[in-house]
Amino acid sequence: MATQPAVREWTYAEFARLPDDGNRYEVIAGELYVTPSPSPVHTRIAFNLALILEPFVARHDLGWVTPAPVDVLLGEGDYVQPDLVFVRRERGAKITDRGIEVPPDLVVEVLSPSTAFRDRGLKRERYVRFGVPEYWIIDPSSGRLEVYRLAGDADRPALVTTEALDWQPVPGGPVLTLQLSDFIRGYV
């Protein structure tokens, strides 16, 4: 009977030495994943969303909105590059030259054909495991936004919408109403 070779676990030091060659490198559950740079549509959607979230977060001094590329160090063996993250101000001391060294309060992934399976499966599972309170998946092909919240059933979206979302980045804080058409405009 043949046995599968053991998958070697990547360390942060090895991950940090990977080339800056236009590919996106992530280590998820100890395994290295390489994907090509995102498409222009993918990048524009994430950029448009950052342009909406950042002024709101800055105006209320809530924390930091950071678009890709940025390394998020969830834990040993889990180093990801989401399309956009938000980290509350009180947790900001964990933003260093290495990257974001705390699970973000919000992670956003824009689906691409090459990453959709991983974004919906393995990465979502890791975000739950490491305590990311809110995870958004934007599907450009359908114009949908799926919102997963740790406080609810993390296996099912708390909300699926093609229209609007009320986002409250800090419990008890201000609410931002997002119209999906403002950041997906013209791409679906």
Nearby residues of 17 by Cβ (< 8 Å), 6 or more positions away: none
The full set of domain ranges for the chain reads 12-184
| Rounded Cα gap, residues 149 and 94, in angstroms | 22
**Residue 87: closest CA among 108, 69, 116:** 108
Local confidence band at 188 (pLDDT 50, 70, 90 cut-offs): low
What number is the average pLDDT over the span 33-49? 91
The DSSP line for 89-141 is GGGGGGEETTEE-S--SEEEEE--TTTHHHHHTHHHHHHHHTT-SEEEEEETT
Three-state SS letters, 24-86: EEEEECCEEEEECCCCHHHHHHHHHHHHHHHHHHHHCCCEEEEECCCCEEEECCEEECCCEEE
pLDDT single digits (tens) 20-30: 888 889 999 99
| Rounded Cα gap, residues 48 and 102, in angstroms | 25
Measured CA angle at 88 (ends 65, 154), to 5 deg: 90
Instruction: Specify the pTM.
Output: 0.90
pLDDT single digits (tens) 101-147: 999 999 999 999 989 999 999 999 999 999 999 999 999 998 899 99
CATH class as words, domain 12-184: alpha beta
